[in-house]
Amino acid sequence: MTEYKILFTGTMRAGKTTAIASVSDVTPLSTDVANTDASVAKAQTTVGLDFGMLQLDTGDRVRLFGTPGQARFDFLWKVLVRNALGLIILTDNSRPDPLGDLAVYLEGFAAELQQIPCVIGVGRLEGSPSPGLDAYGDLLAQRGVLLPVLPVDVRRREDVLLLVDTLLAQIEANSWEAPA
Amino acid sequence: MGDLKLGVQSLPAAEAGLVRALLQLMAHGRAGVAPRWTFADQGPFDALVTDAATQPSSLPARAVLRLAQAGAQVAEADVVARPLRADALERWLDAVATRLASAPAAARTTVRSDDPRWKLRRWPPNELLRADAGRTRLATMLSRRALSVDELAQLAGVAPEKCRTFVQLLQSFELLVADAPPPEAPRALPAPPPAATTAAAPAAPAPAPAASRWSLVASIRRKLGLGGAG
């Protein structure tokens, strides 16, 4: 039995825990504590990790890890992302500077993004349409990074599945060998 | 025609063993009869046996036999219901061998070498994708490597005309770079660290070879009910 992992990262309230729960076989194991950050209206927040899991019919497993959202836990990001199948970065478009938030993760995972598949899911666009999705594409283009950017409501399983599908498509593209 | 190679992909270990055993029985019973099918653990393959959920156009073989669930009503020539029977496998392999032997050399390749390859220069504007999963997949693949229209169609499991229309749309918005370098070899991820990781971050295995990645992706797609595009 082999274990693989997919990493979910992003700011507080971006929906990492909800996204994992929407596809996990098991109720995600969370290490939540009371949120003491008064600037964020959230009762609980993940200070350690979220664990979800997919049990495959081959006997293998895919662990779904959610990173702590706060930047001060970025030391964990480097550890968690090692040998990950892919990375899903979730953003919250209702925050004051969601593009700045994304930049933190682009820098934090800069080395890994040279190799592993990654997709960006932008949440809360309906209630906070600015910046628009194309602004995210512009930011990535300015940084010379080419990643899929998709709108997402993590409460909708089909949206989360599209994020995972996009990761899988990247793995397929990486692995495919053109006929001679 | 020399020996032909049969492989398996995205099948449970027991079923893969069954295919290997059936092939050995066939070889024993047809000693001296050409062409001879041999079991291959690694590609390139002339034919593959796989699960019906796998998109055949994305597999590295010229012919694919897909195994459907037991009791399934199947009407396609390259699909059989489980359990796989020796006579069904032999009939299919004979048909494939005949097809391969009679195809002209040019028709055996599915990609036209004069097709240019394209790669995205940036992620497309939302108005081009319109939350369409199929277009998102095509754009995703073009973001990862340079592909011709036919290669994109084969990889994504989408009709070539759909791919051509989408590529033309991307071209009209100057989102593509033409004549990109040949496809990169599958990128290897860093090897896992030799020391133990923290208890909160269990070590994951070193990356699997490309062929194993196909099998892994197929099993995840089955698990989540994610089919191919198109």
When the pLDDT of each residue in chain B is averaged and rounded to a whole number, the result is 76
Residue with the bigger pLDDT between B112 and B123: it is B123
Average pLDDT score over residue span A143-149: 96
Nearest to A149 among B123, B145, B183 (CB): B123
Phi, psi (deg, nearest 5) at residue B74: -120, 140
Amino acid (1-letter code) at residue A151: P
Show the 3-state SS of chain B.
CCCEEEEEECCCHHHHHHHHHHHHHHHHHCCCCCCCEEECCCCCEEEEEEECCCCHHHCCEEEEEEEECCCCCCCCCCEEECCCCHHHHHHHHHHHHHHHHHCCHHHHCCCCCCCCCEEECCCCCHHHHCCCHHHHHHHHHHHHCCECHHHHHHHHCCCHHHHHHHHHHHHHCCCEEECCCCCCCCCCCCCCCCCCCCCCCCCCCCCCCHHHHHHHHHHHHHHHCCCCCC
Please say if the pLDDT value at position A129 is more than 50.
Answer: yes
**Amino acid A34: pLDDT:** 54
Is residue A145 pLDDT above 60, yes or no? yes
Nearest to B224 among A23, A49, A119 (CB): A23
Residue whose tokens read 């993940």: A46
What is the average pLDDT score of chain A?
88
pLDDT for the residue numbered B163? 94
The pLDDT of residue A97 is: 96
Burial label for B185, CB within 10 Å (0-12, 13-18, 19+), is exposed
In percent, how much of chain B has pLDDT > 90? 28
- What are the tokens at B105? 């050399």
Distance of CA A26 to the CA centre of its chain: 19
* DSSP code string of A33-68: EE---TTS--SEEEEEEEEEEEE-TTS-EEEEEE--
Stretch among A24-28, A109-113, B57-61 having the lowest mean pLDDT: B57-61
- Region class of B157: left (phi > 0), else alpha (psi between -120 and 50), else beta: left
DSSP-derived 3-state class of residue A104:
helix
CB contact under 8 A, B221 and A175: no
Question: Which chain A positions have a beta carbon within 8 Å of B222's beta carbon?
Answer: 56-57
Q: What are the b/e assignments for A160-172, b being 16+ CB within 10 Å?
A: bbbbbbbbbbbbb
Degrees to nearest 5, angle at CA B127 with B123 and B131: 85
Phi and psi at residue B49, to the nearest 5°: -110, 130
Q: What is the mean pLDDT of residues B34-39?
A: 78
* pLDDT given for residue B42 in this prediction: 67
Q: Calculate what percentage of chain A has a pLDDT beyond 70.
A: 87
The structure tokens listed for B158 are 């989408």
Alpha carbon distance A49, A66 (integer Å)? 6
∠ CA A168-A169-A174 to the nearest 5 degrees? 95
Calculate what percentage of chain B has a pLDDT beyond 70: 69
* For residue A131, cis peptide bond before it (omega within 30 degrees of 0): yes
Residue B182 confidence (pLDDT) above 80 = no
Instruction: List residues bridging with A53 in a β-sheet.
Output: A63
How does pLDDT run across A26-72, given as a tens digit for each residue? 888 776 555 555 555 656 555 556 789 999 999 999 999 998 877 77
The whole-angstrom distance between A43's CA and the closest CA on chain B is 23
CB < 8 Å to B216, chain A: 4, 56, 58, 60, 85, 171
- Which residues in chain A are closer than 8 Å to B206, comparing Cβ atoms? 83
Q: CB distance B224–A161 less than 8 Å?
A: yes
User: What angle is formed at CA A70 by the lines to CA A69 and CA A72, rounded to 5 degrees?
Assistant: 140
pLDDT digits (tens, 9 = 90+) for B130-171: 878 999 999 999 999 999 999 999 999 899 999 999 999 999
